[in-house]
């Protein structure tokens, strides 16, 4: 299964999330993996509905635990949320311990997306 990890700025619109996920994986994913600290972002919920995907909320401990397997780092994310990689870590955490990144972080319009493949956490 393929999981789309999502990182975003506060107030991100749903269409920005949808556009980036569709660019990353036109065929779709099993779920959106999103940091729990973004649970109150309406754009995330609306994007999941538009894409027909469930949201897997990834807690901070799981995100932190995946930092060593991430391929890219963002100084901005590190400064704002204390994690150098959000989208990649979320995708890897959702995809499970034997997972691998198949698309490192891409970014557009205040959204980041990374894809990981695995059996699920």
Model pLDDT for residues 16-48, shown as the tens digit of each residue: 999 999 999 988 899 999 999 999 999 999 999
For the cut 80, the answer to whether the pLDDT of residue 65 exceeds it is yes
User: Are 50 and 22 contacting, i.e. CB atoms less than 8 angstroms apart?
Assistant: no
**Which pLDDT does position 19 carry in this prediction?**
95
CATH 3.30.420.180 assigned to 2-117: yes
For the cut 80, the answer to whether the pLDDT of residue 121 exceeds it is no
Average pLDDT, the chain: 95
Answering whether pTM is above 0.85, one says yes
CA distances from 53 to 14, 30, 56, 112 (A): 13, 7, 10, 17
**Which pLDDT does position 27 carry in this prediction?**
85
Output 98 or 28, whichever has higher pLDDT: 98
**Which pLDDT does position 120 carry in this prediction?**
85
**Which pLDDT does position 28 carry in this prediction?**
82
The sheet with strand 31-35 has its strands ordered as 55-58, 31-35, 2-8, 111-117, 100-108
User: Are 75 and 63 contacting, i.e. CB atoms less than 8 angstroms apart?
Assistant: no
Question: First and final CA of the chain: distance in angstroms?
Answer: 11
């Amino acid at each position: 299964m393929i999981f789309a990890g999502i990182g975003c700025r506060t107030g991100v619109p749903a269409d920005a999330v949808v556009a980036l996920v569709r660019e990353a994986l036109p065929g779709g994913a099993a779920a959106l993996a999103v940091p729990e600290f973004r649970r109150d972002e309406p754009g995330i919920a609306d994007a999941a509905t538009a894409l027909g995907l469930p949201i897997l909320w990834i807690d901070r401990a799981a995100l932190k635990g995946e930092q060593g397997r991430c391929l890219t780092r963002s100084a901005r994310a590190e400064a704002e949320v204390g994690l150098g990689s959000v989208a990649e870590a979320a995708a890897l955490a959702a995809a499970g311990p034997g997972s691998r990144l198949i698309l490192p972080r891409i970014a557009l319009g205040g959204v980041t997306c990374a894809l990981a493949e695995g059996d699920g956490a």
